[in-house]
């Protein structure tokens, strides 16, 4: 299977703890996106990378959140001092960069479901 993978699939943590999620994109994709999906809502954009550069961050991404994509391959999303409001599904997606007027599909991973108790 060469799709987007995410680990862990589920994470339960206590408020105040730090958590880290990993996303492995499709190998030839140079763009990687993080979205957050809360219950009853559609996914919301958090941040994206082109290769190893983080090019945009949403205002949803407070300073407790940090994302990296070393060497332009896998990415990690860390949440420090978790709060109950951080409970959500964290989705990763990857794609090729657009070329001319061609926009490429974003392929999604299965997500990491975070529960903060």
86: left (phi over 0), alpha (psi -120 to 50) or beta: alpha
- Spatial separation of the C-alpha atoms in residues 34 and 106, rounded to whole Å: 11
The answer to whether 32 contacts another protein (rule: CB under 8 A) is: no
In this complex, which beta carbon is closest to another protein, that of residue 3 or of residue 16? 3
**With respect to another protein, which residue has the nearer C-beta, 67 or 82?**
67
Least Å from the CB of residue 43 to another protein: 5
Q: Which of residues 57-86 bind another protein (CB under 8 A)?
A: none
DSSP labels for 58-105?
Answer: -TTS-TTEEEE-GGGS-EEEEESS--GGG-EEEEEEEEPPPBTTB-PP
- Candidates 15, 16, 17, 56: give the one binding another protein (CB under 8 A): 56
Residues that bind another protein (CB under 8 A): 3-4, 31, 33, 35, 40-45, 48, 55-56, 91, 93, 95, 98, 101, 103, 105-106, 108-111
């Amino acid at each position: 299977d060469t799709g987007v993978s995410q680990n862990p699939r589920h994470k339960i943590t206590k408020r105040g703890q730090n958590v880290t999620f990993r996303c492995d994109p499709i190998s030839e994709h140079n763009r990687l996106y993080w979205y957050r999906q809360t219950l009853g809502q559609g996914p919301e954009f958090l941040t994206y990378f082109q290769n190893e550069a983080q090019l945009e961050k949403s205002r949803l991404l407070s300073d407790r959140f940090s994302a990296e994509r070393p060497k332009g391959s896998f990415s990690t999303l860390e949440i420090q001092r978790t709060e109950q409001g951080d409970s959500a599904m964290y989705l990763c997606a990857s794609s090729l960069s657009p070329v001319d007027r061609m926009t490429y599909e974003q392929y999604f991973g299965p997500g990491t479901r975070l529960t903060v108790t």
